[in-house]
Amino acid sequence: MPVLNFLFQQQVLLGLLVASCLFVPWDQRRRYFPLRLIAWVLLQVVLPRHISLPLSWPYLLLDTVLVWLMVWSCFDCSPVQALFSTTCAYCVQHITSKLAYIVLVRLSYHGFIQQSPLVLLLILLLANILVCIPVVFWFTRHFLQESRLFFDSISTVIYSGLFFFVAVYLSTILESHLDAAAESYLESYTALNCFCILFAAAILALEFNNSSMKQLESEKRVLVHLLESDRLQYEQAKQDMEKINIRYHDLKQQYSRADDEERTKLDAEMNALNLRYFTDNKALDIVLTQKALICQHAQIQFVCSADGTCLAGMKHYHIYSLLGNAIDNAIECLSQVEDPEKKVIDLDIRRRNDMAVIRIENYTPTAPVLQDGAIVTTKRDPSGHGYGLKSIRNIAEQYGGTADCFVEDSVFCLLVTFPCAALQSQSGENPAN
Amino acid sequence: MYRIGIIDDEQETREILRQQISRFQDEEQAEFEVVEFRSADAFLAHAGEKCHILFLDIDLPGTTGMELAEKIRETDNDVIIIFCTNLQQFAISGYKVSALGFIVKPIQWYSFHMYLKRAVQVLREREARQQDQSSRRIQIKVGSLTRFLNVADILYVEVQLHYLLYYYRDPDTGKVEAIRTRGSMQDVADQLSPYGFARCNVSYLVNLSCITAISHMDVYLGEQVLRIGRTYKDTFLGEFSRFMAKRGL
C-alpha cells in the first residue's frame, strides 16, 4: 500500500513524465541522459516537500519550472523548445487528469465505486491511454518522424504557457470553492473540468499549429537554399560544357589534319565527348549532357526526347534544378535495381495544346511512399533527402504549373506541366538569370 | 490481328524483333502479322499495305528512320512508331513525330515488352471507341426533346441548383452552346467518369481531353477558365496527370 500511496501522491509528476515522453526530442538526448533524468526526477520528488510556501500557486510554478529545466537539461534543445515541450506535456497531463477525475467523481457520486488510490490510478492509466494515443496520432507522430521541431516563436510559446498556467491556477481556486454538499456540485464540477479540458486542448492545438507553420517556413528556406546551390552548380556545369565544346571543336580541327593512326586516337576521345544533347535550349542541353554521363557510368540507359523550345520562358537554373532533381531521383531509384534490362530512364518533353509537358518514367521495384508531396526516403539518414519532389513542385508552381507522380505496373511516372502562357509572360525577363 | 512493320537494315535486329514479337504473342495472347523492310525506300514502296505498329531503326542508310517517320506523319497520324536506335542521343527529336517510345539496341525484352504492350493497349482502345460509337453518346432530356450528345464534344458540365448545364461544342460549327437540363452532379459524374471526366470543383465536371492548359489554380478549356476547388485539387490533378501520361501513347 505505501507504494500505491506514493504513486497517488506523485500522480501529477507521473502524468507529466508520461506526457513529456510525447513531446521531447528523443534523438537529441544529452550526454549521461539516464543520470540527468534520474537526478531531476528525484529533485522533483524531494524538493517540494522541503520547501514551505504560503500559497498554492508558487508550488504550481515550481513544478512547472522543474519540468522545464528537466527537459532543457536532458535534451540538447533550445530553452524555447523545452518550454514548448513542457506546456504541451502540461496540457496532456491536465486533460488526462481532469478526464479521470470527472469519471471518478461521477461514478463514486452515484455509488458505483469507492474512491481509493488504486481505483484512481487505474482510471488515470486508462485516461492516459485514451488521450495519448490520439495525441501521438494527430500531433506528434509527424514531428517524431521528422525528429526535429522547427520552433522558435518565443512570444507564442510564452503567452500560451502563461495563459495555461494562469488558467490551471484559477481552476484550482474555483474547484476548491465548490461546495461538495450542494445539489449542483456534480454539474458544476463536471462543467469546470470540461472547460479545463477544452482550454488545454485549445492550447495544445495552438502550440502545434504554430510549430507546423514554422516548419513550413523552414522547409521553404531549405528549398530556397537547394535552388541556390543548383544555380551555382548550373554555372559550373555551363562552364564545363563550354570547355567540352571548345575541346570538341579543337579535336575536329586536328582530325582534318591528322593521319590514320592519329585519327583512331582522336575518334576515341571524340566519342567520349560526343554524349551531348542539342534541344534548342542551352540549360536543357547542359543538364541532359551532364546526367547522361552519370547514367552512362551507372550503366543506366537514358532515353530522352525533348523539345527544348517549349521551356524557353523558364529561367535556366530552374530548368537545370527541375530536370536535375527529376533525373537524380530516377537514377537513385534505378541504382537499387539489379536487372540491367530494367535500368532505363525515359524522359519526354513536348508541347501539348497550350502546355509544356515533362514526363519522366523509370522502373521501380517498390512503390515509393509519398507524404505531403515528398517521397519518403528509405535511406537511414533522412535529413536533406526527400526534398527533390518538393523542389520540383515548388519550381512548377512558380510558373503556375503542376507536378504529380504515380506508380503503375511497377513504373514510376513523374509528370510536370506548365501553361505556355505563363512561360511566355516570363520570357520577357532574361531567362539566363 | 495487328500488322507490325520492322524497318531495319540489320538482319540480326530483325530476327531478334521477330523472336520477341513471337514471345509476346505467347505471353499476352495477341496476334500479329509481321512484315520486314531493309530500308526506308523498301517500306515506302509498299506504303499501300498499312501497318498498325512500326519498329523503326533511326540509323538507316539513305533516308534515315527519323526522316521516314516525318514523311509517314505527313499522311498518317495513327500508326504507332517505336524507334530502335544504336545511340540513345538519336531519340532527342522523337517528339516531332509523336513516337511512342525508343528502344536502345541491343534490344532487351523489358523495354520491348513495355512499349509493345502500350501500343497494343492504344490500338485496342481505339478499336473499342470506333466499334462502340453509340455508347460514347449520351442521351439528355431538354424539356420535351431528347438530345444525343457525343461525349467527346462536351467540354464540361456545370451544376446550378437542380439543373445541369452541358457546355457542348458543335462538331460542325465549332460553336459552344450550353444545354440546360434537370439532374444532379453526382449522377452526371458517375455517368461520365468512365469517359475521362473529372471534377475540378464542386460545380464543374471537366472533360480531361478538352483541357488546353492547367495551372495549380485554374483549368483552361480554350478561352474558358475554371477554378480548381481546394478539396478536389489533389484528386483532380492526379487524374489529369494519369490522363496526360497515357495520352502520349
**Contact state of B89 with A303 under an 8 Å Cβ cutoff:** no
Residue B4 banded pLDDT, cuts 50, 70, 90: very high
What gap in Å lies between CA B140 and CA B180, rounded to an integer? 9
Output the pLDDT for position A152.
46
Asked if B212 reaches chain A (Cβ–Cβ under 8 Å), the answer is yes
List CB contacts (< 8 A) between B211 and chain A. 353
The answer to whether residues B159 and B120 touch, using CB atoms and an 8 Å cutoff, is no
Instruction: Identify the CA nearest to A244 among candidates A208, A221, A272.
Output: A272
Phi/psi for B169 (5° steps) reads: -95, 120
List CB contacts (< 8 A) between A308 and chain B. none
CA distances from residue A63 to A8, A59, A68, B223 in whole angstroms, order as listed: 16, 6, 9, 66
Query: Which of A354, A415, A418 to mutate to probe the B interface, most B CBs <10 Å?
Result: A415
Select from B96, B110, B214 the Cβ nearest to the Cβ of A355.
B214
**Contact state of B89 with A275 under an 8 Å Cβ cutoff:** yes
The residue in chain B having the minimum alpha-carbon distance to the alpha carbon of residue A409 is B114
List CB contacts (< 8 A) between A276 and chain B. 89
**Residue ranges of chain A with per-residue pLDDT less than 50:** 145-148, 152, 378-385, 429-433
What gap in Å lies between CA A317 and CA A430, rounded to an integer? 12
**Contact state of B215 with A415 under an 8 Å Cβ cutoff:** no
Instruction: Identify the CA nearest to B241 among candidates A413, A344, A314, A398.
Output: A413
Sign of the CA dihedral A125, A128, A134, A138?
negative
Give the contacts of A200 (CB within 8 A, at least 6 positions apart).
A90, A91, A92, A94, A95, A98, A164
- Smallest CA–CA distance, residue A393 to chain B, in Å, is 10
Summary mean pLDDT of chain B? 84
Q: Count Cβ atoms below 10 Å from residue A390 Cβ, excluding itself.
A: 20
Select from A346, A350, A406 the Cβ nearest to the Cβ of B241.
A406
- Smallest CA–CA distance, residue B100 to chain A, in Å, is 10
Which residues on neighbouring strands pair with residue B103, listed in sequence order? Answer: B84
Phi/psi for A375 (5° steps) reads: -80, 125
Select from A302, A353, A357 the Cβ nearest to the Cβ of B88.
A302
CA distances from residue B199 to A174, A237, B164 in whole angstroms, order as listed: 54, 43, 14
**Contact state of B238 with A307 under an 8 Å Cβ cutoff:** no
HSE (side-chain half, CA atoms, 13 Å) at A216: 8
HSE (side-chain half, CA atoms, 13 Å) at B194: 9
Retrieve residue B196's grid coordinates.
475521362
The predicted model gives B154-177 an average pLDDT of 85
Retrieve residue A106's grid coordinates.
461521477
Output the pLDDT for position A148.
46
- Smallest CA–CA distance, residue A384 to chain B, in Å, is 25
Chain CA centroid to CA A409, Å: 29
Read off the amino acid at residue B89.
Q
Output the pLDDT for position A219.
67
List CB contacts (< 8 A) between B240 and chain A. 402, 404
The residue in chain B having the minimum alpha-carbon distance to the alpha carbon of residue A349 is B95
CA distances from residue A300 to A100, A282, B227 in whole angstroms, order as listed: 61, 23, 41
Looking only at Cα atoms, what is the longest distance across chain B?
Answer: 67
The residue in chain B having the minimum alpha-carbon distance to the alpha carbon of residue A373 is B234
Question: Locate cell 554524349: which residue?
Answer: A275
Size of interface A-B (CB pairs under 8 A): 108
Percentage of chain A with pLDDT > 90?
A: 6
The answer to whether residues A427 and A400 touch, using CB atoms and an 8 Å cutoff, is no
The β-bridge relationship of strands B137-142 and B145-150 is antiparallel
**Contact state of B212 with A346 under an 8 Å Cβ cutoff:** no
| Cα torsion through A215, A218, A220, A226, rounded to 10 | -130
Output the pLDDT for position A149.
55
The residue in chain A having the minimum alpha-carbon distance to the alpha carbon of residue B97 is A305
- Smallest CA–CA distance, residue A193 to chain B, in Å, is 36
User: Which long-range contacts does A183-189 make (Cβ < 8 Å, 24+ apart)?
Assistant: A186/A105, A186/A106, A186/A109, A189/A102, A189/A105
| Cα torsion through A329, A333, A334, A338, rounded to 10 | 170
What gap in Å lies between CA A168 and CA B164, rounded to an integer? 56
3-state secondary structure of B32: strand
Q: How do residues B192-248 score in pLDDT, each as one tens digit?
A: 888 889 989 889 999 998 998 988 678 888 878 897 886 788 889 888 987 888 644
Higher pLDDT pick, B176 / A345: A345
Which residues on neighbouring strands pair with residue B104, listed in sequence order? Answer: B85
The predicted model gives B41-58 an average pLDDT of 84
Question: Locate cell 523552414: which residue?
Answer: A218
Read off the amino acid at residue A251.
L
3-state secondary structure of B156: strand
Instruction: Identify the CA nearest to B84 among candidates B9, B1, B2, B22.
Output: B9
**DSSP character for B215?**
-
The answer to whether residues A132 and A15 touch, using CB atoms and an 8 Å cutoff, is no
The residue in chain B having the minimum alpha-carbon distance to the alpha carbon of residue A275 is B89
Select from A276, A348, A411 the Cβ nearest to the Cβ of B95.
A348
List CB contacts (< 8 A) between A400 and chain B. 215-217
What gap in Å lies between CA B219 and CA B231, rounded to an integer? 15
Q: How do residues A292-319 score in pLDDT, each as one tens digit?
A: 878 987 989 898 889 898 888 888 888 9
- Smallest CA–CA distance, residue A365 to chain B, in Å, is 14
Q: Is B183 left (phi over 0), alpha (psi -120 to 50) or beta?
A: left
List CB contacts (< 8 A) between A363 and chain B. 110
Which residues on neighbouring strands pair with residue B32, listed in sequence order? Answer: B2
What gap in Å lies between CA A205 and CA A124, rounded to an integer? 22
The residue in chain B having the minimum alpha-carbon distance to the alpha carbon of residue A348 is B95
